[in-house]
Copies of this chain bind each other. A is one copy, B any other.
Amino acid sequence: MAVDSHAALTITAFDWVPDFARGFVRDLRPRWACEEIGLPYAIRLISARERPGWYYDDQPWGQVPVVEADGRILFESGAILLHLGEKDDRLLPRDPAARDRVICWLFAAFNSVEPWAIEQANVSIFARDEEWARLRRPGLARETGQRLDRLQTALGDRDWLAGTFSIADIAMITVLREFERTPMLGDRQVLAAYVERGMARPAFRAAMAAQLADFDGANAPQATARSSQ
């Protein structure tokens, strides 16, 4: 496990989330990337219920993850994955054409698939008892289904989106897992197998275990702003 409180790279995560979100919070992405290349990382825990005011200086919307590395602050999972990818060709190939493919799929996960996952979470979790959500569900299921059908076709018989495993797969698999509580993946065996393939990787399992351990208070104490650390 790559968690090391003295590491040069720090990932900000929540100290608690509701049960439905455990194992799904987005700091899983940089944790997974670090585990893939054996890069040690420290964890800074903040409260999700009362997000500290200073944290909005690091992350405009108070979300996680934020990564501090080399004295610089990075926000947005995609930017963080790209930063980590630049460190190791096991995450981002150096060949220009292969690199292009990874970056196209990285943005695709965040802009062409995750918006539908965000709306899905709204209608099935956050607003599930609201009338608009009940009326919206069938149409959203159709639209999302078409979108995932196209993704399945594009993946085809490849193991990974850009040929070899990359940050694009960390992004896309964590996005697709957001559909796990719907029939979306069960109805699409190629995508279901793709997600399973990702989740079977030792680095994914280590990242998941580390996120869950932090909810049990096993690691770092509650963090404060960098200036007072």
A: residues with CB less than 8 A from B are 56, 60-63, 72, 74-79, 82-83, 96-97, 100, 103-104, 106-108, 110-112, 114-115, 118-119, 127, 130-133, 135-136, 139, 147, 150-151, 153-154
User: How near does chain B come to A35, taking the closest CB pair, in angstroms?
Assistant: 22
Whether B151 contacts A108 by the Cβ 8 Å rule is: no
* Partner of A75 from B108, B131, B133 at Cβ < 8 Å: B108
Residue numbers in B under 8 Å from A133 (CB-CB): 132
What residues on B are CB-neighbors of A77 within 8 Å? Answer: 107, 111
- The copy count of this chain in the complex is 2
Contact of A79 among B75, B100, B147 (CB under 8 A): B100
Specify which chain B residues have a CB less than 8 angstroms from the CB of A82 in the assembled complex: 103
Contact A108 B153 (CB under 8 A): no
A196 and B76 CA atoms in complex are apart in Å by 26
CB-defined contacts of A153 to chain B, threshold 8 Å: 56, 60
Once A56-B150, A60-B153, A103-B82 are accepted as A-B contacts, the answer to whether A76 and B135 lie under 8 Å apart by CB is no
Task: Indicate if the CB atoms of B136 and A60 lie closer than 8 Å.
Answer: no
Given A119-B119, A135-B132, A111 and B76 touching (CB < 8 A)?
yes
A114/B112 in contact, CB under 8 A? no
Query: CA separation between A112 and B133, bound complex, in Å?
Result: 21
CA distance A119 to B133 in the complex (A): 13
Asked if A108 and B147 sit within 8 Å, CB to CB, the answer is no
Asked whether, in the complex, the Cβ of A75 is within 8 Å of the Cβ of B60, the reply is no
CA distance A76 to B100 in the complex (A): 11
Supplied contacts A76-B112, A78-B111, 5 more A-B pairs, CB within 8 Å? A60-B150, A83-B103, A115-B115, A127-B139, A135-B135
In the bound assembly, the distance between CA atoms of A133 and B123 in angstroms comes to: 13
Give the residues in chain B near A103, CB-CB below 8 Å.
79, 82-83
Complex Cα distance, B106 from A79, in Å, reads 8
Inter-chain contact A111/B111, CB cutoff 8 Å: yes
A61–B118 Cα distance when bound, in Å, is 18
Chain B residues positioned under 8 Å from A100 (CB to CB)? 72, 74, 79, 83
